[in-house]
Chains A and B, each alone.
Chain A
Amino acid sequence: MTGTQLLMTFPVTADSHTLESYCARGGYATLEKVVREMRPEQVTKEVAASGLLGHGGAAFPAGRKWGVIKLNDEQPHYLCANADEGEPGTFKDRWILEHAPHLLIESMLIAAFALQVRHAFVYIRGEFDLPYRRIAGAVEEAYAAGLLGAGIANSAFSCDVIVYRGAGSYVCGEASGLLTSLEGRKGYPRNRPPRLTVRGLYQRPTVINNVETLANITGIVKGGADAFRKVGTAKSPGTQLISISGHVARPGVYEVEYGYPFAKFIHDDCGGVLAGRKLKCVIPGGISTKVLTAAEIEPLTLDHASVAGAGSGLGSGGMVVVAEGTCMVRLLQVLVRFYHHESCGQCTPCREGMGWLHKIVDRIVAGEGRLDDIDRLIAISEANDGTTICGMGDAAGYATVGILAKYRDEFEHWIDNGRSRCDGRLEAVGAEWAVPEAALHG
């Protein structure tokens, strides 16, 4: 077990996502209590007191974000659930959307009540098919049951939830790019200031929270902030959904209490590295966080402070396990190809820099690299650090610098010899890649 669980509290069955099942588990009782007995500022106070951190990657305190919204300021406010889960390696929100869509809707309604929102949005990634059908179906169920729309649960509170499908752009997962896309324009991120909580969707105060962040709201309001703070660590209260993939025996989505030992999670709970290989490194929180070597993760615990102390981050909880024998040059090639493909092209450092990173790594792989190319890759990454409109330029830089700092010798080897030091035998061993029994039934 991976500590206390707050979200994965029920057995997943064929109809555990339905309104009926959700209500049987006590669903929407918290919402009814909130709309009858609480005032908006009480809800915000509770969320702020819980210390809930954003689960989208930046770990910004949710209560502080909500606190910027001025109540009763005679203008519309908007709430948006960021379900554009595009960070490679991350698929945790998908679990909530597929199996607990009503938990998200109830939480969004509580948040909408707290923030005086009349229209809330779920911006969902275009590639998500089942998650879209589940959340859209849940919204229909909720409307039919009088839990959405005008006069929710026979109270004065009204709120509509609109599910909007993106078209699959990575940058549209960035909050301001998401809003621009939601407004029907090209998904370009926006400059700050102004902050989105001041001028967001349609130039109105807007709160955007990650699906997992929102999903925690119901539990916090139901059980109280103090109960929530008892879970996890002092600085990272609560739990984190971690989607683990790569060379790992039991990939999947796990709910981990903050503070759980990192190595124990990989080796015990996830069954260790695939086919009994040694662990080479771990990308801890989506590909935009720096890699951690097998030795580095040993003393770490799964919370923001601990992983940040090792120079990386827990990010979006998209963990990728990399086995010994994997070529880091090719790994970086995959990453920069992704960033090149997904750069929106708005601001100079990312638009030009991503293509340049990609070309240089491609050239190294083609055997035409030079030793000064490595420093050039680092220089391009540094030119993107803090200079771009959104965080994508920085993220690509972290990923690149993270790999180069720890595996520079592999790049030098390829440049000197025209071939990988890890000769690709990992991929050649086909039989070892069969999915283990344990992963299917565990």
Chain B
Amino acid sequence: MVEIFIDGDRVEAEDGQTVMQAARASGHVIPFFCWHPSLSVPGNCRICMVEIEGDGTAAGWLDIACNMPVAKGMHVLTDSPRVRARRKQMLELVTLNHPVDCGICDKAGECTLQDYHYEYNGEPSVSRDVKVRATKHHDLSDRIVLDNERCILCSRCVRFTREISKSDGLGIQNRGDHSLVRAVEDGSFDRDPYSDNVIDICPVGALLSKPFLHKARVWYLEPTASICPGCERGCTVKVWHRKSAWKLNRLDPAANARIDRVTPLENPAVNGPWICNKGRDLARIFERPRATEAMLKGSAVAPQTALDVARALIAAARHPVALVSSWGSNEELAAFDRALAARFASHVKADWLPVPGERIEDDVLIKADKNPNRAGALARFPALPVDPRAAFGADCDLVLVWGEGFASDLLPASAKVIRLDAWRHADNARADVFLPITVQTERSGHYTNFAGVVSPFEACFAKPPGVADAEALFAALALPLLVEATT
């Protein structure tokens, strides 16, 4: 431990820490653009200048906090007049060639440069000279658009591809104030499954998401803590949707219950500050056409009718088998265990398999199993054998299929079928009883990831009419069994 003083406060810093790290750990604010806790220190933005007080024998000096190791007894000033003057100069220079087009910039409202300008400068530009013109709209990849005029060349995105995603997909071309961030020609940035993280770490509005481009001002949105179901890593994410106070009544009401974007929810135990691009595209998973009507062999019926038929099937079955969803929350799995597990021979199935072209597994985040709660399900029930027919046996007369991803053709032809699914599939109509269930964004619960870390997710949208939580359905399906037991 090293004892240092920041703005007069005694701070215990760890050996080898920088002043920036020690200040952040002790709650002292030092502004920064280029520094990032998970990336190397480039020291290029020069905004984190602090003053090291002289000790009587030597004069004080200014230096960047991000690259300065703590030294015993050093006195650091983060807000002295000299520091404030330097910061203001640096901000003048950072904004010198920045277009300040916040009015049409998606980053406005969550932009570091905006925040710092109001915090540390707040004055109009002192320059009368024309700004450097650069590419205003450059397709950095299929997913990301780059505005080089807004770019302040902090190099966070470049370092991300070199140090975190290891795609080496980005670099800086040219030099001086004509430097341009560009993707390398071999297309490695297009193939980088973590590319969208550079949008989050961009301190200005230079890197923007194409799907989210001009879709919403961020102050109309709010995040809900959730979990990416894309693989068994279970990265914690923020699902951004419209604030209830800013519902758009005149537009398509669907716009009010839409996933506008997904960003990482920092979580050192699971995913750090990153997620992969699949997690950004949760809307593509959740906003597929929904199954909203209960059905008997493809004919829509009232939910209660379908439930009654299902109860009768369960009561009549002699050798029922259940295929348990690996997308169910721990609460739903517990409900199934409590209500129906005794009646069924239960097996955990994989709802999702890797799709062609998807990265199967790597040593960054992506895991091979593409289901979020496989570990939670396997904690209660055995896995489905590799050949699913082995699970059914010759005398199986009822199969309950919970969740998607198990084709009707694989089910024993003689058995009755009860299906619970959230989305519209052709197989739904082939089931004897079909019951629609909610998706993850309509309920709350917990998933257990591959390493046993349990993370929560919250509901952010209302259930569609006629759709019930699987948890409630299991309880309802269990009722006749209880009646049967007492008679």
Contacts and interface: CB of A to CB of B under 8 A. Distances in A.
A352 B130 contact: no
Nearest to A353: B93
A424 interface: no
B157 to A, nearest CB: 15
A348 B45 contact: yes
A437 B126 CA distance: 53
Contacts of B174: 345
B43 A345 contact: no
Contact of B175 (A169, A349, A352, A383): A169
A167 B176 CA distance: 16
B64 A376 contact: no
Interface in A379-398: 379, 382-383, 386-389
B125 to A, nearest CB: 11
Interface string B64-75: 100111000000
B38 interface: no
A345 B175 contact: yes
Contacts of A349: 46, 89-90, 93
A387 B90 contact: yes
A379 B43 CA distance: 22
A376 B126 contact: yes
Contacts of B178: 345
A82 interface: no
B81 to A, nearest CB: 15
B46 A363 contact: no
B176 A340 contact: yes
Interface in B45-94: 45-47, 49, 61-62, 64, 67-69, 86, 89-90, 92-94
B128 to A, nearest CB: 8
B129 interface: yes
Given A347-B44, A347-B45, A351-B153, A387 B86 contact: yes
A30 B152 CA distance: 53
Nearest to A370: B128
* Interface-centre pick from B90, B97, B153, B177 (highest chain A CB count, 10 A): B177
A383 B176 contact: no
B188 interface: no
Contacts of A186: 171-172
A343 B176 contact: yes
Contacts of B93: 348-349, 352-353, 356, 383
Nearest to B47: A348
Contact of A355 (B42, B68, B86, B97): B97
Contacts, number: 97
B118 to A, nearest CB: 19
B86 A351 contact: no
B287 to A, nearest CB: 42
Given A193-B67, A345-B153, A346-B44, A356 B127 contact: yes
A344 interface: yes
A355 B90 contact: no
A290 B86 CA distance: 24
A342 B178 CA distance: 11
Contacts of A340: 176-177
A168 B3 CA distance: 46
A33 B351 CA distance: 78
A363 B127 CA distance: 12
A341 interface: yes
Contact of B44 (A171, A356, A389): A389
A360 interface: yes
A354 interface: yes
B334 to A, nearest CB: 53
B476 interface: no
B46 A354 contact: no
Interface in B132-179: 132, 152-153, 155, 171-172, 174-179
Interface string A184-196: 0010000101000
A344 B175 contact: yes
Nearest to B41: A191
B456 to A, nearest CB: 41
Nearest to B126: A376
- The 10 lowest CB-CB distance pairs between A and B, nearest first, are A345-B179, A191-B43, A343-B176, A383-B89, A352-B93, A359-B129, A355-B177, A347-B44, A345-B176, A345-B175
Interface of A: 169, 171, 186, 191, 193, 340-349, 351-356, 359-360, 363, 370, 376, 379, 382-383, 386-389
14 contacts: A169-B175, A345-B172, A345-B178, A345-B179, A347-B46, A348-B45, A348-B94, A351-B179, A355-B97, A355-B132, A370-B128, A379-B89, A387-B49, A387-B89
